[in-house]
Amino acid sequence: MPNKPSKSALKREHIARQSLGESLIDLSPEQLASIPLDDDLRDAIVAATTMRSRGALRRQKQLIGKLMRNIDTAPIEAALAAATRTDRRAKATFRRAESWRDRLMADGAAALEQFSSEIGHENPELRALLADLPHCRSRDERRQLGRRVFRLIHAELQTEVQRQVS
């Protein structure tokens, strides 16, 4: 008599597959497109994203778990891990950009020197924006300047991250 998995082991495996399927529901359409899925499973996941009824969503998640019983989950897990890594990297870059914006807006030239040494070059457009900072009269002007500074910093940091990844 071959060793067949116990009923409890099968149920744990089913729950793990269903949980993996549920994590796919939370992905953006772009991230979902990058994951190798068969058409039935992709359609079930897309349908689940539009459901608002708790009962219907629960049944849809069970269907996703059932559809995942017959497929190899290793490629899905690898693609999901890569998407999660990319998402974490993007969030970290965003937080760094916010931090640098706050430092640059508060400290000015001293913080700009530190930022320039960190990215490896000087950004003349950023220097010009910070030079305009003392001339901002209203809170709205200062806020708009802060947004422009943030966009420049974020672009620089994204370029740096892409160079590190490549």
Contacts of 124 (CB under 8 A, 6+ apart): none
- What is the C-alpha to C-alpha distance for residues 73 and 155, in angstroms, rounded to an integer? 36
Placement of tokens 């796919």 in the chain: 24
Structure confidence at residue 43 (pLDDT): 95
Task: Give Cα 23 distance to the centre of its chain.
Answer: 13
- What is the C-alpha to C-alpha distance for residues 92 and 87, in angstroms, rounded to an integer? 9
**Dihedral through CA 139, CA 103, CA 129, CA 95, nearest 10?**
-90
The per-residue pLDDT of the chain, averaged, comes to 90
Structure confidence at residue 134 (pLDDT): 86
Structure confidence at residue 85 (pLDDT): 85
Structure confidence at residue 1 (pLDDT): 52
- What is the C-alpha to C-alpha distance for residues 150 and 158, in angstroms, rounded to an integer? 12
In this structure, which topology does domain 7-71 adopt according to CATH? Diphtheria Toxin Repressor; domain 2 (1.10.60)
Under 8 Å between Cβ of 64 and 41: yes
Q: Which residues of the chain have pLDDT under 70?
A: 1-2, 166
How is the chain split into domains, by residue range? Answer: 7-71, 86-165
Under 8 Å between Cβ of 138 and 159: no
- What is the C-alpha to C-alpha distance for residues 110 and 156, in angstroms, rounded to an integer? 18
| Global model pTM greater than 0.75 | no
Structure confidence at residue 147 (pLDDT): 94
Task: Kindly report, residue by residue over 8-55, the tens digit of the pLDDT.
Answer: 998 998 899 989 989 999 888 888 898 999 999 999 999 999 999 999
